[in-house]
Structure formats: C-alpha cells, structure tokens
Chain A
C-alpha cells in the first residue's frame, strides 16, 4: 500500500528548476516511488506508510536537496537555435500501448528493453543517416568497449558530477570458496539477486555512460597527431535514472551514435555548428517537429548549481528536443556539445603548440530518436514520410 507525503519547500522552487529538482528527488530515499514538484509543493508517493520519525527524516532530506539546488542558483540563459515544434505531424496518441501489443517493445527490467523488427529497422534507418553525417566530416570510425575503467572516470571528475547515474561492474573474487558459496546460495527474488557476503571483487570497471570518453582516454597524455581529429562511434551507454526510467524515452541501457571533434577551439565549434546545419536538412526531410535549445547535463545535487550555470553561460550544450504530442511535451533525442578544453586539460591531450585540445561532440540517442518519430507518426508505416518508409523497407 502506497502513501502520499506532501512537503512545502522552505525555499520556493522557481519554475525553471522544477523539473531538475523533481528528477533528483528520485535519489533522496529508497522509499520514494514517485515525486512531483508543482506550484502547491512537493508530493512524494511512498512504498509504505512512514512512521513519524521516517516522515521527518524524509522531509529533512527533501528540504536539503531543494536548498542545495535552489539557493543562490542563477537563472539559465535559454537560447533557441531552431524552432520547428509547430511542424504538423499526423499522430497524437501514446505509442507505448501499440509498441507493447505488437511485440515491438519488451521490458526485461526497469529501463532495459528489447525492441522488435519495425523499431530495429527504424533505428537502422536513423543510424545510416547519422553515419552519413559523420562521413560528411570524414570522421574516422572507432569501436569502443562497453566497460570503462573506474580510474578513467575518476580522472574526468565523473564520480563527483554524476554519481547517481553510475552502473558498476564486478565479478566473483578469484577464491574457490567464495565461488562455491555463490554457486550454492545465490538466489533471485522480486528485489533482485541475493548473494553471500564477500562474493565480489573490487570495482575496476563500470558500464560506460558515454561514447566519446573512450576516444579522449585513448588520446590521453600525448600530443594529438595532426592537431585535429574527427571520429565517430556507436555504443551501448548506461545511465541509471531510478524511478525516472520510462519506456524507450528514458532507458538505463541505451544506444548512442556520436560524431566527435578534437582539436583547436575554432575547429570544434565550427564543426558543431556545421553538423547542426546538416541535421536541420535531414529533420526537415523526415518532417520531424523539434526545437534546438540550450540545456545542461543532469549534474548531481551538489554540483548542479555551478555546473549547470557554467554550461548555460558558455553555451556548451544544445539539445534537439523532439515533440511528443501525446504528452504535449518534448524529448531530447540528441545534442550538440562543446566541452571547451576540459578533457584536454584533465587528460593532458595537447595541440602542436602545447596548449590543451578542445573537444565537442554531436550525439544521438537511437531509441529515443525512433520513439519520438513513432510518437509523431504512429506505427502505421503507410502514414510515414516517404523517405522513412523507403528507409525501413530495404533494411533488416
């Protein structure tokens, strides 16, 4: 039986921070099933009726998070580079029931989905277009692993910036007794896998949260050959989002195609802008309703205020937000990113003159791209724009 807890924040939450605060409330306490921030306050849905002491503890935790995120926060500068949200699209219903019914989407675990033939063909179509974009920059193809060393992520401050979204990888300790113990006693219940204590080795790797990091790590501690590089890769990425995980919109395990630029500031910024212009033509061809607007990464509570304001001030991130008519909202399906010389400095990657390289990337979430398209055009292929119809007909 669930229970609602209403909290009036001690500090008023400005409208532009409501979504950010709401998403972070997922990490406040394991008892929280759902969190909502509205003008009349914060509503938490809890797994069970809390005692008075627990109620007080939860309220304290929520007030702490609100204070950390809101107190002294700068209002971000919202910059809209393109606005095609009024582009007419034929579909307004929720595509999720149809995807489930047709076996086009199957949930294996929270945030973990298998997709069926039609969605797979649609993703392959978008992938070909994104690779075409990469080819237009003569981007070198790479294949990166799914695991990423913990020491790499530590070097780029990832543990401080995004601790809430990490996904850890381990294995059983090389100890015959521990392995035997595990084999005999490991068992699953509805909460997960229960294991004997001391079964696991120390974490050396995690599941990778992004594609471009692997490229930067491969370039670390040396001068960049030729002084500039365009590269591309697709990979599985993992970002744990707790109760915010939802359908193909927000997956724990998703696929990202990136086109990555490393070099001097002008090289990176010019290519980021050229990439955006090229994608505008493609999105027009497929009739996507979307907007490109400034954004920030989902930094954790303590880092959020400063990092988000910095990203906004220096226009480091722009998201491609596709319309979701059934929600009367939008979904980020990709982004144009500039990291300044952060990775160059952190990883000691240098230009011929000895200064740190600048980096940037254009990233597309493949499942999200397909989902947003389906939300605008539905599952009936005959009603899709000709380019997409032809694109899925010949693949798979």
Chain B
C-alpha cells in the first residue's frame, strides 16, 4: 500500500518517488503546498474511488495518514477491478 501511495503523491506533485519518504507530511517538500495537497486529494479520489470531503482533506496530511485512511476504506483501484 505504502508504495502505491508514495507513487500517487509523487505523480500528483510531479516529483520523483525518492522525494516521498514514508514519513513525509504536508509542507515537508515545497511541492506539497496547498495546491499540491489538493492535487493529491483529487488523484486519490480518482484512482482509489474513496470519498473525499473537507474533513478528509484536512486530515490526510501525511503519507502515513493517507495509508491508514485507504486501509480503513478498503479501496479497490480501477486497475484491480479491470474497469
């Protein structure tokens, strides 16, 4: 799971995956600013199909928090379902 999340964050922020260590949080690199954060949220919604609302946007501010949220919501990606 964590590798998938790291890859998604790297894609949203347009940086290499090496710049997304497991302990990274909002503001940890300059690309993860307000706009970068919203890019991550949009991509999360699109790829994992999980519901994203204002509370979630304010809570998912680290790699760890995103992983925990996805684990809890048992996401099924579009690739896994073949759709």
Contacts and interface: CB of A to CB of B under 8 A. Distances in A.
Contacts of A315: 58
Among A74, A76, A305, max chain B CB count under 10 A is at A74
Contacts of B38: 305-307, 309-310
Contact of A75 (B27, B33, B34, B54): B54
Most A CB within 10 A of own CB, among B38, B42, B52, B55? B38
A314 interface: yes
A318 to B, nearest CB: 14
Contact of A74 (B37, B39, B57): B57
Interface string B57-82: 11000000000000000000000000
A314 B58 contact: yes
Interface string A312-345: 1111000000000000000000000000111001
B53 A74 contact: yes
A184 to B, nearest CB: 49
B35 interface: yes
Interface string B18-46: 00000000010010011101110110010
Given A342-B33, A342-B34, A309 B54 contact: yes
Contacts of B34: 306-307, 310, 340, 342
A75 B53 contact: yes
Contact of B37 (A77, A305, A310): A310
Nearest to A160: B35
Contacts of A74: 41, 52-54, 57
Contact of B53 (A77, A303, A345): A77
A341 B27 contact: yes
Contacts of A72: 42, 45
Nearest to B58: A313
Contacts of A310: 34-35, 37-38, 57
Bin chain A's interface residue count. Answer: 10 to 19
A302 to B, nearest CB: 11
A76 B54 contact: yes
Contacts of A303: 35
A313 B57 contact: yes
A72 B57 CA distance: 14
Contacts of A313: 54-58
B30 A309 contact: no
A345 B30 contact: yes
A345 B36 CA distance: 14
A197 to B, nearest CB: 38
Nearest to B61: A314
Residue of B34, B38, B42, B45 contacting most chain A CB atoms (<10 Å): B34
Contacts of B42: 72, 306
A313 B53 CA distance: 8
B44 to A, nearest CB: 12
A206 B82 CA distance: 53
A72 B44 CA distance: 12
B69 to A, nearest CB: 14
Contacts of A75: 53-54
A341 B53 CA distance: 23
Given A72-B42, A345-B30, A306 B35 contact: yes
Contacts of A309: 38, 41, 54, 57
Contacts of B57: 74, 309-310, 312-314
Given A72-B42, A341-B27, A77 B54 contact: yes
A390 to B, nearest CB: 43
B42 to A, nearest CB: 6
Of all A-B residue pairs in the complex, the 7 with the closest CB atoms, nearest first, are A77-B54, A313-B57, A306-B38, A313-B58, A310-B34, A313-B54, A312-B54
28 contacts: A72-B42, A74-B41, A74-B53, A75-B53, A76-B54, A77-B53, A77-B54, A303-B35, A306-B34, A306-B35, A306-B42, A307-B34, A309-B38, A309-B41, A310-B34, A310-B37, A310-B57, A312-B57, A313-B54, A313-B55, A313-B56, A313-B57, A314-B57, A340-B34, A341-B27, A342-B34, A345-B27, A345-B30
Given A74-B54, A309-B54, A315-B58, 5 more contacts: A75-B53, A306-B42, A309-B57, A313-B54, A345-B33
Interface of A: 72, 74-77, 303, 305-307, 309-310, 312-315, 340-342, 345
